Amino acid sequence: MHQTIATFSAVLLLTGLGLVTAQGNGGPGGGAGMMGRTAGNNTNPLCGTTANAPSVNHTIQGGVRYFQSNGCPPTNWTDHNYPAPNGMTYGQARSYNFPVIVNQTPVLQANISDALYVGISNPVKGPIGITLTGVALYSAVDALNRDAIIYEGRTFDTCGGHSTPDPVNTYHYHSMPGDSSTISHNGTRNSNFTYCPAMQSWLLPVNTTNNHSALFGVFVDGVPIYGPLGDGGKLPTDLDACNGHVDASHSFYHYHATSDYPYLVDCLRGCINSTLSYIQGATIPACKPAAQQYNYSSLDAEITARLEHVGVINGTMVNGTVVNGTMVLL
């Protein structure tokens, strides 16, 4: 068994493999997402507002990848750029039990038409993925099936996320995490991202020779997502309808965040294991595997390296368990 535990707080959220709790209740723009999700509510503790608020556990066993988090961001979710629009309020971020369980090796559908579409053409709400800091990734739609950045962007905090209204209070991203002003540059496809200081060092390219954007999350189909830049630090020009492609430095299918719609993904190209994952309001397409599949063997090490980059452990790692340690965002 391979195990990496990244904990951002002195108290690690401990979960056993295969632990599945009751499915949570939905809410406007949010609700239950992955199998085992327990929705936050007004009795759940508020998330902290510093880098040690999240708790994330990443485990691989028997060909299955497990993420377990408390859903809290590593940033100050109370800090906003804009006054809340008329009729809207800032949601509170509350901790909750958030497991994401996917196949370790993604299997791509033969045709993109067989993918699960999640955007405006076939709106899917609630979590469809997770960042490596343990925050839920949502599609580009709001509660009324509109472009969430256009209609909700002014409720985003200075690090690009926001929470669903009471009583769910689930913190999440609809677009590139850390982008401090998504609505200022969403009209075109560009690289004008300005990352909030608390997340800047984590989101900028880690390979200064290639300048490919860093890995920041994984979707429920097991396919990873990277920031906006492809090889050579340039915007990819060959992204498919889902927002994915293959490039020279990452020779497997992966997604990229973009400044314009769909921001993260418009569809999930990988087969979704319905015995592992539940997506609110979605009918999981049958898996029709493509003849050509990709080697994802390097992804495990890349996720581990990114988790290690997210923070530094001030303590001792014993058999994958942090003992008297904390992790803080670099």
pLDDT digits (tens, 9 = 90+) for 30-50: 333 343 334 444 689 999 998
Residue 315's contacts (CB-CB under 8 Å, 6 or more residues apart) are 322, 323, 324, 325, 326
- How many residues comprise the chain? 330
Residue 206's contacts (CB-CB under 8 Å, 6 or more residues apart) are 214, 309
* pLDDT reported for residue 157: 95
pLDDT at 5 over 50: no
pLDDT digits (tens, 9 = 90+) for 89-100: 788 999 999 999
What are the beta bridge partners of residue 102? Answer: 65
pLDDT digits (tens, 9 = 90+) for 245-295: 999 999 999 999 999 999 999 999 999 998 887 788 889 999 999 999 999
Spatial distance between the Cα atoms of 152 and 89, rounded to a whole number of angstroms = 10
pLDDT at 7 over 50: no
5 is in which domain, residue-wise? 1-330
DSSP conformational letter for 10:
S
Nearest CA-CA partner of 146 in 28, 243, 37: 28
* pLDDT reported for residue 20: 27
pLDDT digits (tens, 9 = 90+) for 78-90: 999 888 777 777 8
Two structure tokens written together for 159 = 């690090």
Burial-class residue 6 by CB neighbours within 10 Å (0-12, 13-18, 19+). Answer: buried
β-pairing verdict for 162-163 and 171-173: antiparallel
pLDDT class of 235 with cuts at 50, 70, 90: very high
16-20, 52-56, 205-209, 307-311: least confident range: 16-20
* pLDDT reported for residue 64: 93
Tell me the one-letter amino acid at 309. Answer: H
Nearest CA-CA partner of 302 in 68, 65, 61, 125: 65
pLDDT at 107 over 80: yes
Residue 215's contacts (CB-CB under 8 Å, 6 or more residues apart) are 132, 224, 225, 226, 302, 303, 306
Nearest CA-CA partner of 67 in 77, 75, 76, 57: 57
β-pairing verdict for 171-173 and 136-137: parallel
Residue 194's contacts (CB-CB under 8 Å, 6 or more residues apart) are 179, 180, 181
- In this structure, are residues 75 and 196 in contact, taking their beta carbons and an 8 Å threshold? yes
Spatial distance between the Cα atoms of 131 and 218, rounded to a whole number of angstroms = 6
pLDDT digits (tens, 9 = 90+) for 116-162: 999 999 999 999 999 999 999 999 999 999 999 999 999 999 999 99
Two structure tokens written together for 204 = 């900028």
User: Token match 């992955």: residue?
Assistant: 34
* pLDDT reported for residue 310: 65
Nearest CA-CA partner of 2 in 104, 134, 101, 106: 104
Map residue 23 onto helix, strand or coil: coil
Q: Which has the higher per-residue pLDDT, 16 or 216? A: 216
7-11, 93-97, 106-110, 314-318: least confident range: 7-11
Residue 77's contacts (CB-CB under 8 Å, 6 or more residues apart) are 47, 49, 93, 157, 159, 161, 162, 163, 171
- Report the number of distinct structural domains present in the chain: 1
What is the model's pTM?
0.85
Tell me the pLDDT of the chain averaged across its residues: 81
